[in-house]
Each structure stands twice: as structure tokens, then as C-alpha cells.
Structure 1
């Protein structure tokens, strides 16, 4: 008669880390994808908010939408600030033609955080918007 004592323990010791790694990649990978999409959404919404800040005097004078860079920058950054505390960095820039917004989100790992150096990760996304009038629309 064969003795199989410890065979199952050996399989558990060998396969448990692999299963834990795969679960970590699944859960934390999903968090990374969600963070990337959220950063893109925040950046796009902020850029649109900045693109709404048209210089009325220049519009009346030229008939073309021209941004007020200071107001556009302030509106874009204010919109990013209104989001929750997961936003860990932002850059807002504007000129008379367009608004550029970059957003960074930091997310804490749920499973892979037990591995040193994988406790959190940062996702970055950028968006650009420019004012468009009914005559300029594609």
C-alpha cells in the first residue's frame, strides 16, 4: 500500500501562490482599468468645462470663439478639484484656442498589495477641448 501523506499539502503549497497571483491580477487589473477610464472621464469633463469659458468681447469682435485662458484654466482645475480624493495630481493649461487637462489617480492594490512595491499604482490620462460654434461643427 502506498502512502500519500503530504501529497495534497505539496499541491497546496505549489498552487496557492499561483492562484493568489492570478486573483490579484484579475482584481487589481480591473481596478487599474477602471482608474484609467475614470481619469479619462475626469480629464475630458474638465477640458470641456474649460472650453466653455469664451472671451465674449473677442467673440463679438471677430465672430470666432476665443478662449479666455485664465478663466478656462480656472474652470478646468475647479472641475477636477470637485471630484473625490482619488485625484492625486492635475495639470490644467489653456491658451486662446484650446484647454489641456491631465489627471492622475492613485489606487491602492487590493490583493497584490501584499507584494512589496505593489501597494498602489497611478493612472494618468489627458484630454484636450476647444470651443466650437454651430458654424464650426463637423
Structure 2
């Protein structure tokens, strides 16, 4: 009987899979972390912008009716506008880390800060929570062409 020779000598490829696993597992985890936590950051930024926009609009609704009747121009009551904007942000509770509401007779400006804790990259040293800030401005408008 004739012996067949093996195409690959025994022992030449031992441990190759283990080496690939050790090398590529951290890379795959980092990519998954960037995907998940990057999406989380984008969502948080949109949420911060939405909160700031809603609060600024709530403040811009606080028109001084006496000044409007006298001049025909929408003029804000700065104290009421600031209070309305900050009250709306207070309704969001702990989602808002910090906020600032400013108002004058022309416009309301609201800044919102949200802190996000990464879900996957948080296990890597140096990738702690990060802060996203959004600032929006609203002005009162009356009239228009629509119904």
C-alpha cells in the first residue's frame, strides 16, 4: 500500500485562528462602539437641538400685548419669555444637564447641554461621557399670508 502525503505538513497552521481572534476582536469591538455610540451622539445632538428650539419658541410666544396694540409690532416681555423657556426645559427633567435662557424685546435664545454616557466605548479608558450643546433662537412673528 502506498502512503499518501499530506498537502500541508502537520503543525504549520496551528494557532492561526487564535492569533486572528486576538488581533481582530478589539478592532471589531471598537468599530461596533463607534457605530452604536456615534449613533447615540447624533441622536443626543438632535434631541438637544429639539429641546432648545421648543423652549425658544415657548419664550417667543410671550408677547407684550400692550406694546403690540400700541405699535402693531410684536415685542417680547423679556421676563415672561425667559421664565417660559426655562419652565419648558424644566419639564425635561434630568435629560438636560445644563441650560441657559436669555431674552430681550426682540428674541429668545436658549442653550441646552446634554451629557451622554457611551454604551460600548465607555469600557475603554479615556472614552468617558461627553457633552453636547445646542443653542437656538426664536423671534415673535405676527400676521402672515396663510389662514
- Give the C-alpha shift of residue 5 in structure 1: 2.0
The normalised TM-score by structure 1 is 0.95
CA distance in 2, matches of 1:117, 1:93: 34
Deviation per residue, 1:66-117 (Å, 9 max, x gap):
0000100010011111014121010100000000001011111000001122
CA distance in 2, matches of 1:86, 1:56: 33
Aligned ranges 1:78-89 → 2 under 5 Å: 78-89=87-98
Aligned counterpart for 2:119 among listed residues 110, 113, 119: 110
Unaligned runs of 5+ in 2: 1-8
Partner of 1:73: 82
Partner of 2:31: 22
CA distance in 1, matches of 2:135, 2:104: 16
The normalised TM-score by structure 2 is 0.89
The runs of at least 4 aligned residues of structure 1 exceeding 2 Å deviation read none
Q: Does 1:134 align with 2:126?
A: no
- Return the index of the structure with the highest Cα Rg: 2
In the alignment of these two chains, the number of paired residues is 137
SS of match in other structure, 1:134: coil
Contact kept? 1:49, 1:76, Cα under 8 Å = yes
Unaligned runs of 5+ in 1: none
CA RMSD after TM alignment: 1.4
Partner of 1:53: 62
